[in-house]
Amino acid sequence: MMKYKPNQTRTYDGEGFKRRAACLCFKSEKEDEVLLVSSSRHPDQWIVPGGGMEPEEEPCKAAIRETYEEAGVKGKLGRLLGIFEHNQDRKHRTYVYTLVVTETLEDWEDSVNIGRKRQWFKVDEAIRVLQSHKPDHAEYLRTLSNTCNPNCSPLFVPTNGNTPSSHMTDNNTPLYVVCSPQSSDLVNR
């Protein structure tokens, strides 16, 4: 399903969720500094670069495109961190990838058109900055510490406080993170 707006086409999956993609952009493979961009609606607040998928666009391509448009960076796309569902106000599913930045443009589309800014943050600081305005974006970074970076061994995360559950599934099923106002649960679907 698609919905047309004057400046963009919104795409939805079969369950009525808006299809989105984003990248957690890191300075290095250490994944200890992340790039945030200013919000277009609230220029004094920070967000993770990302946005809606175009019709027929693959999630990884949308994540790269949105990151380039909003943050003015290019890089090496890493792993799919997870697929995050947000059901509070607007239903959307966001595919979140990691990206190690290799090129930073001085001027980019959103800096020129809407005055968007970007800034590097330590991961813990970024979580604090995002928590009040975009708790769903803070959740991306919280999940980062619970997933396997290509240079580490797999980690296990308790889903109910008692039983460990791997983020990696035997059949490569993507990790879904369902966010709610009080907490988030990790769910393999």
Kindly report, residue by residue over 15-51, the tens digit of the pLDDT.
888 999 999 999 999 999 999 999 998 999 999 999 9
The residues carrying an active-site annotation are: 69
Please determine, for residue 187, whether its predicted confidence score (pLDDT) is greater than 90. no
Q: State the amino acid at position 1 in one-letter form.
A: M
Taking only the tens place, the pLDDT of each residue in 57-74 is: 999 999 999 999 999 999
Beta bridge partners of 104: 73
Mean pLDDT of the chain: 78
Closest CA to 82 of 179, 163, 176, 182: 176
- What is the model's pLDDT at position 123? 96
Give the global pTM. Answer: 0.76
pLDDT(97) > 80 = yes
Query: Is residue 166 pLDDT above 80, yes or no?
Result: no
Over 90: is that where the pLDDT of 53 sits? yes
What's the pLDDT tens digit per position in 115-138? 999 999 999 999 999 998 899 999
CA atoms within 13 A on the CB side of 25: 29
- The three-state secondary structure class of 22 is strand
Amino acid 147: pLDDT:
63
Mean pLDDT check: name the lowest of 76-80, 91-95, 145-149, 177-181.
177-181
